Chains A and B, each alone.
Chain A
Amino acid sequence: MTAALRAAAGHLRAMRGRALTAALGIAAAAAMAGAATYVSYALATGFERSAEQSDLPDVVARFAEQPQRRIRALVGALPNVEAYTLRLEINRVRLWSGRDVTQKGAVQIVPPGRRGYAIVAGRDVRGARREAVIERGLASSWGLEPGDSLGVGRLGRMPIVGISVAPDNVAFPLASAPRVQLSQGYLRRVFGDAQPTTNQVLVWTRDPSRTDVTLQQARATAYGIGDLSFVTRAGVRVLVDQAAGIVIALLVTFSLVALLAAAVLLASQAAADVQRSLPAIGVRRAIGVPRLVVASQYAGSAGLLGAVAGGLGVGAGVLAVSAPAAGVLEALNERAPGSAALPPLLAAWLGIVLVAMLAAGWPAWRAAGRPPVELLRGGADLSGSAGRLSRLVPRGGGFFVLGMRLALARPRRALALLAVLSVCGGVLALMLGLSSLVLALRDDPGSVGKRYTLLARLPAGEAAAVRALPGVLDAAPRYVAQGADSFALGEPVKLVAFPGDHTRFESPALASGRRVRSDGEAEVGTGLAQALGVRVGAQLAVALPSGAEARFRVVGTVRAIDDDGRVAYVRPARLLAADPSISPLIAIRLERGADRAAVTRALRRLGAEPRAVSAATTRSTAFLGALATLLRAVGVIDAIVCLYALCQALGLTARERRATLALLRSAGASHGVIVGVLCGAALVLAVPAALLAVVLQRFVLAPLVAASAAGYTDLQPAASGAQAAALVSAFVALALLAAALVARRTLRGAVCAGLREA
């Protein structure tokens, strides 16, 4: 073993320059694999990991404030309950710190016992002390840490002793209400202990698979408790984890692409290396070195190199994406994997080492099988190398065209590079498409089919008055109800109702069926359709917070992105019949070029404080920003791999054709001519690869990702024309950069060196 390692190390020392090039290739491929593995693992396991660490309950029931005594009696009688905690959550509490302030604080009064959140910094609240724990999203957004203080409503400034994370909801500011935990003991000390109340119960079940039974019983016995809603751990997982589903799907695709690209890169590199070493292999075979020993030495060298460069590459990939991945996880209230990510990263590293060994060992094994005499004749015979591919290039032309011919003279290498660049480019285009889509979701209401720009809280009857305002194109009451599917408890459903044609205000693309035409019909988002398994013609029964149920017939599915596609568009009649207390907001469409400020002033005169409508959600800015950063980080790694692949292939071409380049230099060709030749060699592959990448992205990768994400929403991440043009330009720039780098190295060498060889 030691001897084999020594032999491999000696082999590497003997070809130091090539070993460095190979190491760079392995590191680039490993960086891709490492980044993809880390992000996929972090996001795929984020919820379960955080749920375990936070002791997340199996069910959270929310309801109108009740005496604790009554709820204890109800919960105590439920089957399958292992433990429960009663909590009081006070909403719309003013929180402030320095210049930061919100009126939407959610203060949770926590009793001793199981809490359902994890402390990630500092400590939990204790006894009856005047102290607070705040959620991580609030701490990050406002720059708070244990030891600072936070203003909490009428209680005034309180010292912060800890930072909490609970994955039962996304983090502030993605969630509008930042959560603060105070001890029940402190509140009792301040306000007395007369009639303790609660509006939340956290339930841990004995058998989580039978949570449905507990829920059915709870619904049956909770008669008279207002505003009752249940969120199950499974439901939270669906909601929160699927928000990352698109990224996971994308990164799994990317991992496969990374491994494929790595394999092709390493294989072509190793094949070229073996090709150059044919005489050396011939000598060894001639003196009786067995074929297996020759192959294993190449494999051993590659393995040694792969171990070092692969380790560095995986580390670099993780470093590049860990910060943006942490941002996404933080926005989802999930925790970074830490050392738990080591096993999959180790597997990725081992995979890279194995691929490197196979990529080097196999061509060496094949070469060593050839007759030694043939091997001793040496290197690559380029005399007939103008293969079929190079005949595609028209005759004549300048040195640029000569470069094109040189690149195509090695058809297999050219096709391998074309494949690597196309696939990497396809992923790059996908990243561009997704990152633009994500930013559009953040910034452009139109991207989620919203055609109104303002919402105002006014009675439905005021819609006509709003329509009459100058600058207003249209206005209608928009009713929203958050319910749960009657057949699958814990599956949230958002009902959105407009009188008449809702597409005047919200027009997500129709995926199947038709639009709503009457009161009993519904269009459901694809996310909801997938989750509930409903199709056109099925019944949608929604349990409303009031306890009443509204039923609709599904007539169409729509590509709704808002609320993860778990939305249904209906007419208001049945909704209001089931729950007359639902009050609308007036959705307002402005005329093109209308003065928004003037309309806002006019609405204020009507007694409403209008708010601007953003895209998916106004609160998701940080999350979507982090997601876009993550996608771009992966894109940057991808672009580096493309640059490396180009440099490597171009370097091989320049090395193989050093006689031709030296001849040109001896004939008086300037540096510009050599750069021109190499530019031709790079662009002849980079430009078709970019075009293929656009095709691949549009017709394969984008539909694949859209299909993977269809579980919760319908995305169309195909690159736009501008993005396709940007990709082609980026590839041209990468090709020119690669040509310049390789030309620099080529021109540093003496002219006569290339002329000495046959």
Chain B
Amino acid sequence: MAVVIRADGLVKAHGTGPAARRVLDGARLHVREGELVAVVGSSGSGKSTLLHLLGALDAPDAGSISIGGERVDGRSQRELTELRRRRIGFVFQFFHLVPELTGAENVLLPTRLRGAPRGAAARGRELISRLGLEEAARRRPHQLSGGEQQRLAIARALVMDPPVLLADEPTGNLDGASGLIVLQLLRAAAQEGRSVLAVTHEAAVTAAADRVLELADGRLHAA
């Protein structure tokens, strides 16, 4: 299986002067196609920072990142924007559904972007159906349970058919049953050939992962 997410020697510091702290200090990570990898670590260990760097939302101070063979570091904002649109889907702990839009509108939101692949909207509707979200799709987020909201968020992350799915505490805000459904969806996404990386505190996520890495002292170790 090909390596889709490749990060080497990642360094990232927060703060300046005496308050500066290296949250990532030479971190290295390879995730293959179809693999679900969980990253664990204590609060403030840099898990979310790692995810943001891999998702081209932030730039490392040093090191290199490539997604699907495309280098992320050293590229312009415009190029990074396009890379995110084509290659990366995000799932967040707080769902980040737009409250003014219905579930379906939230799922289809990325398909309205210029450069969205043809058939993305049809794929979105199919995802809604496949995930059993027809009823939720007609409602607005505040009328839905946390589990329904996160499933809609996963459908939104998959609607552009990205090869990489990055999840930040995907079950952190859900009850056990809802969390289990979300994990099944992430597992299914990996089985479809996607590289899925989830940062988590939850044991259920690590149990469902192919590999578990622990982030400590700015580096990733097998847990």
Interface, chain A (partner B; CB < 8 A): 382-386, 390, 395-396, 398-399, 402, 405-406, 409, 659-660, 662-671, 673, 750-752, 755-758
A750 touches B58 (CB 8 A): yes
**Which residue on A lies nearest to B110, using beta carbons?**
A667
A384-B142, A660-B96, A663-B98 known; A755+B57 contact, CB < 8 A: yes
Docked CA distance A750–B105 (Å): 25
Residue numbers in A under 8 Å from B1 (CB-CB): none
Considering only CB atoms, which chain B residue lies closest to A381 in the complex?
B142
Measured between C-beta atoms, what is the minimum distance from A687 to chain B in Å? 19
Alpha-carbon distance A651/B82, docked complex (angstroms): 26
Cβ-closest chain B residue relative to A396: B105
| Chain B residues whose C-beta falls within 8 Å of the C-beta of A665 in the assembled complex | 57, 81, 84
Pair A382/B110 contact, Cβ less than 8 Å: no
Whether the pair B100, A385 counts as a contact (CB closer than 8 A) is yes
B98 lies within 8 A of A756 (CB) = no
Chain B residue nearest to A657 in the complex (CB): B98
Interface string of B81-92 (1 = CB under 8 A from A): 111111000101
Kindly count the residue-residue contacts between A and B in the assembled complex, taking CB atoms under 8 Å apart. 90
What would 14 A/B residue contacts be, using CB atoms closer than 8 Å? Answer: A383-B141, A384-B99, A402-B98, A402-B109, A663-B90, A666-B57, A668-B82, A668-B83, A668-B113, A670-B78, A671-B81, A751-B58, A755-B52, A756-B48
Chain B interface size, under 10 / 10 to 19 / 20 to 34 / 35 or more:
35 or more
Q: Interface code B3-19, partner A: CB below 8 Å = 1, 0 otherwise?
A: 00000000000000000
With A402-B98, A664-B109, A667-B109 given, can you name 20 additional A-B contacts, CB distance below 8 Å? A383-B99, A384-B142, A405-B100, A406-B100, A409-B100, A659-B96, A662-B96, A663-B92, A667-B113, A668-B81, A668-B85, A668-B113, A669-B85, A670-B114, A671-B77, A751-B57, A751-B58, A752-B48, A756-B48, A757-B94
With known contacts A666-B84, A670-B114, A752–B52 Cβ distance under 8 A: yes
Chain A residues, CB < 8 A from B118: none
Does B201 reach chain A (CB closer than 8 Å)? no
Assess whether B55 is interfacial by the CB under 8 Å rule.
yes
In the complex, how many angstroms separate the beta carbon of B207 from the nearest chain A beta carbon? 26
Taking the closest CB of chain B, its distance from the CB of A379, in whole angstroms, is 13
- Residue pair A755, B113 in contact (C-beta under 8 Å): no
Given contacts A386-B100, A667-B84, A750 and B57 within 8 Å (CB-CB) = yes
The listed residue (B58, B101, B113, B168) touching A673 by CB distance below 8 A is B113
* CB of B83 to closest CB in A, whole Å: 8
Which residues of B in the span 30-88 have a Cβ within 8 Å of any Cβ on A?
A: 48, 52, 55, 57-58, 77-78, 81-86
B112 CB–A CB distance under 8 Å: yes
- Docked Cα-Cα span, A491 to B4, in Å, equals 94
Inter-subunit contact A755/B58 (CB<8 Å): no
Contact A395 B105 (CB under 8 A): yes
The answer to whether B109 touches A386, judged by C-beta atoms less than 8 angstroms apart, is no
Provide the bound-state CA to CA distance between A384 and B141, in Å. 8
A755 contacts B92, C-beta separation under 8 Å: yes
B140 at the interface (CB under 8 A from A): yes
Chain B residues whose CB sits within 8 angstroms of the CB of A383 once the complex forms: 99, 141-142
Give CA–CA (A669, B90) in the complex, Å.
13
Q: Which residue of B lies closest to A409 (CB)?
A: B100
A743 to B113, CA, bound (A): 17
* Cβ contacts under 8 Å, B141 to chain A: 383
Q: What residues of chain A lie closer than 8 Å to B90, measured between beta carbons?
A: 663, 666-667, 755
Minimal Cβ-Cβ distance residue in B for A664: B109
Whether B55 lies near A666 (C-beta < 8 A) is yes
Residues of B within 8 A of A668 (CB): 81-86, 110, 113, 115, 160
B119 to chain A, nearest CB (A): 17
Per-position contact with A for B180-204: 1 when CB-CB < 8 Å, else 0? Answer: 0000000000000000000000000
5 pairs of A and B residues whose beta carbons are closest in the complex: A668-B85, A405-B100, A383-B142, A752-B52, A386-B100
- The CA of A664 and the CA of B140, in the complex, are separated in Å by 18
Shortest Cβ distance from A747 into B: residue: B77
Distance of B142 from chain A, by nearest CB (Å): 4
The minimal Cβ–Cβ distance linking A744 to chain B, given in whole angstroms, is 13
A752 engages B100 (CB within 8 Å)? no
Residue on B nearest A668 in the bound complex, by CB: B85
Minimal beta-carbon separation of A739 from chain B (angstroms): 18
A667-B85, A758-B94 known; A752-B58 Cβ under 8 A? yes
Q: Which residue of B lies closest to A383 (CB)?
A: B142
- Contact call B81/A399, Cβ cutoff below 8 A: no
A386-B140 contact given A667-B84, A758-B94, CB 8 Å threshold: yes
A388 → chain B, closest Cβ, in Å? 12
Q: Within the assembled complex, what's the spacing in Å between the Cα atoms of A662 and B85?
A: 13
